[in-house]
Chains A and B, each alone.
Chain A
Amino acid sequence: AQTVTQSQPEMSVQEAETVTLSCTYDTSESNYYLFWYKQPPSRQMILVIRQEAYKQQNATENRFSVNFQKAAKSFSLKISDSQLGDTAMYFCASGPTERGYGNKLVFGAGTILRVKS
């Protein structure tokens, strides 16, 4: 079974600084996707960034980037130049690439990030 662990229940960062959210996962799949989702206080969950496991290059989306360490099964999210609008709950998720019967995403418990002015 897949598991996703986010060890930081809450974090805070000053505006304009950089923060890293941790995520580790465990899977027996040979290929899989990893995702970071953001859930602002308004509650709509949105996709921040995704990484396909077979790609060695770390994904980047503007101020958001990941540090993907496949051997260590680690997938951390780095937010640069933090903004007040980054305040949200962040979820890490993992799932196999194959559309198999019963395949689905598994989510971590989430990390609350507060950006302070």
Chain B
Amino acid sequence: DVKVTQSSRYLVKRTGEKVFLECVQDMDHENMFWYRQDPGLGLRLIYFSYDVKMKEKGDIPEGYSVSREKKERFSLILESASTNQTSMYLCASSQAPWGAYGYTFGSGTRLTVV
């Protein structure tokens, strides 16, 4: 089975800290995605990547950046964490062409910024 692994299930960080959320997939997928999930808002795309060193902004990129130095790893970075970034963060990957298979998701990271 394809696995998408997110390094932490729960994180508590202080306002102003730099936060790294790591995601690793083991099936050589080209595409990787970061979403945040909030009640009543569903999943909102933060950033995505179709290839190594390639990144594209999603719908809500403000306050976030990403890094993809290797195909299997896609990191989400909160440069200076704020309380409004308290949320569930979901990483996903897909092979190309992605439409036929949808996404495979990680278990999520619940981030609390205090």
**A32 to B99 alpha-carbon distance, docked (Å):** 8
| B100 x A107 contact (CB < 8 A) | no
CB within 8 Å for A105 and B42 given contacts A97-B97, A98-B97: no
Q: Which of A43, A50, A93, A104 contacts B58 (CB 8 A)?
A: A104
* Binary A-proximity of B85-114 (CB < 8 A = 1, otherwise 0): 000101010001111101101111000000
Judged by a CB distance under 8 angstroms, whether A30 is at the interface is no
Query: What number of B residues sit within 8 Å (CB to CB) of A?
Result: 25
**A50 to B90 alpha-carbon distance, docked (Å):** 20
* Binary A-proximity of B21-58 (CB < 8 A = 1, otherwise 0): 00000000000010100001111010010100000101
**A37 to B103 alpha-carbon distance, docked (Å):** 10
Q: Which of A32, A98, A105 contacts B103 (CB 8 A)?
A: A105
* Binary B-proximity of A85-115 (CB < 8 A = 1, otherwise 0): 0000001010111110111110111100000
Return chain A residues, CB-CB under 8 Å to B103. Answer: 45, 47, 105
Count contacts between A and B, CB distance < 8 Å.
Answer: 62
Question: How far apart are B63's CB and chain A's nearest CB, in angstroms?
Answer: 20
Question: How far apart are B26's CB and chain A's nearest CB, in angstroms?
Answer: 15
Q: Return 13 A-B CB contacts under 8 Å, by A number.
A: A32-B99, A37-B102, A42-B107, A43-B108, A44-B106, A45-B103, A91-B43, A93-B102, A97-B99, A101-B50, A101-B56, A105-B102, A107-B43
Chain B residues near A (Cβ < 8 Å) = 33, 35, 40-43, 45, 48, 50, 56, 58, 88, 90, 92, 96-100, 102-103, 105-108
